[in-house]
Amino acid sequence: MMVSKEATMSDASKPAKRPMSPRRKRYWTALGLAGAFGGVLGAWMQMTQTDGATIGLALLSNSALPANFAIGSSIVWVVGMAISLILYHRSVDDHEERAYLWAGTAAWYTLTLAAPTWWVLHRASLAPAPDVMLLFLGALAVNAIVWLWLKYR
């Protein structure tokens, strides 16, 4: 029996749910890519940890890393984040863009307040040496909290 291509396409084009718009597809692709890059980097970093003292907290460790991992992860981070962020900014609606801008501002203020303060206290021997990753993770946490609050409150 001959079934025309058009008839087949017509039957197949009756989805139970409304199809995703191109914007939503780009949005979830961007988030998926960012998550995948982050997951790969996290797992790879954890596998290179040899001291065993920081299992699960590899990001906070200051132990030496193999050069091939350092180069490879730097490339994956920069290229992966650049691609994901371009896709993300091309797909967000203006409500989320506003949440993102305020979250970024709050994260920047966190860094602006914490980094010089910690540095000055360290130079007066009142605090340990500033930890870049701790500052980064602190700013990232503030960013995430503000973004989630503005988007889902």
Partner 1 sequence: MNNKLKVLRAMRNWSQAELADRLDVSRQAVNAIETGKYDPSLPLAFKLARLFDMPIEEIFDDGFEGGDDE
User: Which of residues 2 and 152 has its CB atom nearest to partner 1 in the complex?
Assistant: 152
Minimum gap (Å) between residue 133 Cβ and partner 1: 31
- CA distances 39 to 7, 92, 137, 144, 152, Å, are 43, 23, 16, 17, 24
User: Which of residues 5 and 153 has its CB atom nearest to partner 1 in the complex?
Assistant: 153
Minimum gap (Å) between residue 97 Cβ and partner 1: 9
CA 6 to CA 51: how far, in whole Å?
A: 62
Minimum gap (Å) between residue 94 Cβ and partner 1: 4
User: Which of residues 14 and 18 has its CB atom nearest to partner 1 in the complex?
Assistant: 18
> Nearest CA to 144 among 94, 111, 102, 95?
102
Chain contacts with partner 1 (rule: CB under 8 A): 18, 21, 23, 93-96, 98, 151-153
User: Which of residues 89 and 98 has its CB atom nearest to partner 1 in the complex?
Assistant: 98
Structure-token pair, residue 12: 């197949």
CA 111 to CA 105: how far, in whole Å?
A: 10
Minimum gap (Å) between residue 101 Cβ and partner 1: 12
